[in-house]
Structure 1
Amino acid sequence: MFDSSGTCTNRDISISQSRYSSTGIPQYVVQIVNTCVSGCAPSNIHLHCGWFASARIVNPRTFKRMSYDDCLLNGGRPLRTSQIIRFTYSNSFMYSLTFKSAKFC
């Protein structure tokens, strides 16, 4: 998708998640993809994530809660075109993870 200037926007960051396991503490797999094909890769991507916590450790370079409702993706590094960030977390419920902000150059 392009805006009028042909650069990437928040609509180009696709976030999906699904239940991965039904035994023990539920596990969820999250997949985040940059679908933008033009312009530079967005960086410093933050997601709304509530009080995100996981019984299973999530690599903080991949996904890290900075404060309430603010999680940093990919350590702030650019998310290149078609790059997929995937991680699994364990909790009794699925967190709502939605786009919050990013640096689009």
Structure 2
Amino acid sequence: MTTTPTAVLIFMMLTALVASTSAAGGGVLCDVEKDLVIWQSLGEPQRDESAMYKVDVTNQCAGDGPCAISKILLRCGNFRSLVPVDSRLLRVVRPGVCLLNGGHTVRQNSNFSFVYASYVRQNLYVLSARCQ
């Protein structure tokens, strides 16, 4: 019997699904797309016509079991800030990819924020993350 690429893909998807379920109830621990929320708000314009932006990151998982999220990588384009951003909170790891919170866990119902200054708003989107 030969293994087709489709069969391998289905096996990998099922393996990932089983790995992301809790042992007790069998429910999914978290859904990164739904649970991890990134909000940006525009602050005061600066004298040089740049603006301060505040970024709030929240793990709003409402599950019964633990649903921590870690190793969060963002698509961050050509991220640059006119003021230093704490590298423990956001760090460019390669062009277009930033590591959030130093890869550490963002626990259920917790949040953190950071501020950056730029002439344009930086688009920040979740590229990948790990549910724990």
> Matched residues in 2 for 1:22 and 1:8: separation?
37
Gaps of 5+ in 1: none
SS of equivalent residue, structure 2 residue 102: helix
Higher RCO (C-alpha under 8 Å, 6+ residues apart): 1
Equivalent of residue 75 in structure 1, options 102, 108, 111: 102
Match of 2:35 in 1: 12
> Matched residues in 1 for 2:98 and 2:126: separation?
10
TM-score (ref. length: structure 1) = 0.89
SS of equivalent residue, structure 1 residue 49: strand
The structure with more helix, counted as a fraction of residues: 2
Match of 1:66 in 2: 93
Give 1:37 shift: 3.0
> Matched residues in 2 for 1:6 and 1:82: separation?
17
Identity of aligned residues (%): 31
Say how many residue pairs are matched.
Answer: 103
One-letter amino acid of the structure 1 residue matched with residue 40 of structure 2: Q
Q: Does 1:22 align with 2:49?
A: no
Q: Does 1:47 align with 2:70?
A: no
RMSD: 1.7
Q: Residues 24-39 of structure 1: matches in 2 within 5 Å? A: 24=47, 25-38=50-63, 39=66
Match of 1:93 in 2: 120
One-letter amino acid of the structure 1 residue matched with residue 44 of structure 2: S
Gaps of 5+ in 2: 1-20
- When Rg is computed on C-alpha atoms for both structures, the one with the higher figure is 2
- Runs of 4+ off more than 2 Å: 3-6, 37-40
